[in-house]
């Protein structure tokens, strides 16, 4: 494909989303990335939150965390460039250690992954001996290594149900834990952060709980409120509201649908309504709008993920040119983490 053909391909999808001069500039970057990708035998995986010009030009596969983990595990290419955040690139390395995994920005972290350490998990396991640990995939490799199972937003309730244990430790997202508890009919408690040995009587006056959570939050999804929903429904009475399960249970309860980033995308594609509000990272609204020009996408773009937004076409090109930033996971941690991640993939 020539630079001009790349430009035409991007224009077809993005003519109403990306201004013309930016489209021209970005199509040149995309052309060079795709050329180098072939030369270096690389595959590019793009999370649903990538900005539209990147999302629609360079990834071989786009999707949510679960789908991209599967693609990372299956690829036969030598290099995996992960256009997403660090925990996703680490998961790719855990599943396919023989490959070189590159993350285009060193700053692409995640507030959930940063909310808990392996030491915290060990302390919880001491406090609740024998209780299986389920960690959200939005955690770093050493936390996964202390866990029995991983899950994503796409299969969290299925993983908790599949374990079939009386109690589970479910980490680290408070809101996802509350949403999974509501969906599976379980009661969740949150031992005091930093002193988990101390019993929190307010949370658990008795032993009738089935989930033990952690008070981690997604710095994006925690900001959406029921008041936002009420105001938007007043302004646009026909709006259909779609929320990620990292939003509070109150926000999820006031929405029309909740699911992983891919489940949200499919819901909009398959529904007949004309107008939607997406309570998630704003770029995903652009990507859905580009694929569904007949549907209006309302977005609250004052709330952004600063980590996902670190990944640009410029840095993706530099990643391939300079072989950076290489993701490494120490082998003893990788082997333990792989057990939890592979269980997550099997449960699907
Ligand atoms: P998904 O697994 O739904 O893609 O979510 C990942 C994420 O980081 C959402 O904030
Ligand atoms: Fe992490 Fe939230 Fe950003 Fe997703 S949106 S990567 S959970 S900070």
| Same structural domain, 191 and 265 | no
207 and 250 share one domain: no
The answer to whether 229 and 204 have CB atoms below 8 angstroms apart is no
- Nearest in space to 326 (alpha carbons), one of 118, 174, 13, 101: 101
Domain termination residue (choose one: 164, 193, 217): 217
Is residue 211 located within the same domain as residue 117? yes
- Which residues face 136 on adjacent strands? 151
Is 156 a member of any domain?
yes
**Residue of the CA atom closest to atom 8 of ligand 1:** 138
138 lines ligand 1 (CB under 6 A): yes
pLDDT of residue 197: 46
Q: If you average pLDDT over residues 165-176, what whole number do you get?
A: 96
Predicted local distance difference test score (pLDDT) of residue 67: 95
CATH number, residue 35: 3.40.50.10800
Specify the pLDDT at position 206: 65
CA nearest neighbour of 217 among 302, 108, 305: 305
Q: Are both 163 and 249 inside the same structural domain?
A: no
User: What's the pLDDT tens digit per position in 97-135?
Assistant: 999 999 999 999 999 999 999 999 999 999 899 999 999
- Say what the pLDDT of residue 348 is: 75
Residues 181 and 231 in one domain: no
Mean pLDDT of the chain: 94
Q: Indicate if 193 and 205 belong to the same structural domain.
A: yes
pLDDT tens column, 17-76: 999 999 999 999 999 999 999 999 999 999 999 999 999 999 999 999 999 999 999 999
Q: Are residues 201 and 237 in the same domain?
A: no
In a domain, 343, yes or no: no
Domain annotation covers residue 42: yes
Both 119 and 196 in a single domain?
A: yes
Q: Which residues contact 329 (CB under 8 A, 6 or more apart)?
A: 90, 93, 94, 97, 141, 337
pLDDT of residue 196: 47
Q: Which pTM value belongs to this model? A: 0.95
- 334 within some domain: no
The domain tally of the chain equals 3
Specify whether 205 is located in the same domain as 178. Answer: yes
Q: What is the pLDDT of residue 200?
A: 53
Is residue 302 within 8 A of residue 279, CB to CB? The reply is no
Q: How confident is the model at residue 192 (pLDDT cuts 50, 70, 90)?
A: confident
Q: What is the pLDDT of residues 279-320, one digit of tens each?
A: 999 999 999 999 999 999 998 888 899 999 999 999 999 999
pLDDT at 208: 80
- 206 and 165 co-located in one domain: yes
Assess whether 76 and 134 both reside in one domain.
no
Tell me which residue has tokens 């710095």: 219
pLDDT of 191 reads 83
Beta bridge partners of 216: 173
Both 8 and 96 in a single domain? Answer: yes
pLDDT computed for residue 13 by the predictor: 95
Residue 197, domain member (yes or no):
yes
> Residue 170 phi/psi, 5° resolution?
-125, 115
Q: How far does the chain reach from its first CA to its final CA, in angstroms?
A: 36
Question: pLDDT (tens digit, 9 = 90+) per residue, 197-237?
Answer: 445 544 555 678 899 999 999 999 999 999 999 999 999 99
Q: What is the pLDDT of residue 315?
A: 98
Question: What is the domain extent for residue 249?
Answer: 221-297
Q: Does residue 328 lie in a domain region? A: no
| Residue 23 CA, ligand 1 centroid: distance in Å | 27
Q: Which residues contact 345 (CB under 8 A, 6 or more apart)?
A: 66, 69, 70, 73, 95
Pocket test for ligand 2, best of 84, 154, 246 (most atoms within 8 A of CB): 246
Q: What is the mean pLDDT of residues 90-103?
A: 98
Q: Is residue 341 part of a domain?
A: no
Q: Is residue 7 part of a domain?
A: yes
Cβ < 6 A, ligand 2 pocket:
85, 110-112, 138, 218-220, 246, 281, 305, 307-308
Read off the pLDDT of residues 252-287 as tens digits, 9 standing for 90 and up. Answer: 999 999 999 999 999 999 999 999 999 999 999 999
Q: Which atom of ligand 2 is nearest to the CA of 173?
A: 7
């Amino acid at each position: 494909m020539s630079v001009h053909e790349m430009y035409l391909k991007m224009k077809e999808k993005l003519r109403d989303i990306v201004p013309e001069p930016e489209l021209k500039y970005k199509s040149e970057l995309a052309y060079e990335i795709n050329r180098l990708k072939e030369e270096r035998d690389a595959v590019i995986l793009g999370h649903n939150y990538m900005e539209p010009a990147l999302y629609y030009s360079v990834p071989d596969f786009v999707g949510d965390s679960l789908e991209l983990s599967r693609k990372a595990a299956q690829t036969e290419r030598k290099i995996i460039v992960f256009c997403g955040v660090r925990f996703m690139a680490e998961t790719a390395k855990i599943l396919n250690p023989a490959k070189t995994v590159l993350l285009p920005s060193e700053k692409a972290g995640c507030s959930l992954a940063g909310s808990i350490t392996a030491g915290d998990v060990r302390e919880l396991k001491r406090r609740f001996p024998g209780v299986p640990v389920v960690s959200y995939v939005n955690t770093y490799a050493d936390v996964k290594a202390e866990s029995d199972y991983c899950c994503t937003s796409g299969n969290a309730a299925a993983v908790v149900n599949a374990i079939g244990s009386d109690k589970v430790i479910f980490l680290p997202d408070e809101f996802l834990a509350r949403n999974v508890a509501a969906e599976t009919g379980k009661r969740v408690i949150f031992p005091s952060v930093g002193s988990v040995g101390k019993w929190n009587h307010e949370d658990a006056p008795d032993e009738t709980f089935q989930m033990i959570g952690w008070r981690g939050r997604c710095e994006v999804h925690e900001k959406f409120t029921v008041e936002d929903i009420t105001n938007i429904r007043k302004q646009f009475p026909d709006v259909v509201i779609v929320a990620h399960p990292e939003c509070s249970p109150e926000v999820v309860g006031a929405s029309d649908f909740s699911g992983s980033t891919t489940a949200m995308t499919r819901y909009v594609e398959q529904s007949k309504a004309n107008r939607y509000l997406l309570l998630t990272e704003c770029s995903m609204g652009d990507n859905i709008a580009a694929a569904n020009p007949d549907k209006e996408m309302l977005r609250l773009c004052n709330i952004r993920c600063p980590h996902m937004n670190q990944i640009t076409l410029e840095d993706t090109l530099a990643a391939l040119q300079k072989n950076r930033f290489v993701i490494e996971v120490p082998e003893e941690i990788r082997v333990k983490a792989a057990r939890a991640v592979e269980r997550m993939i099997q449960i699907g």
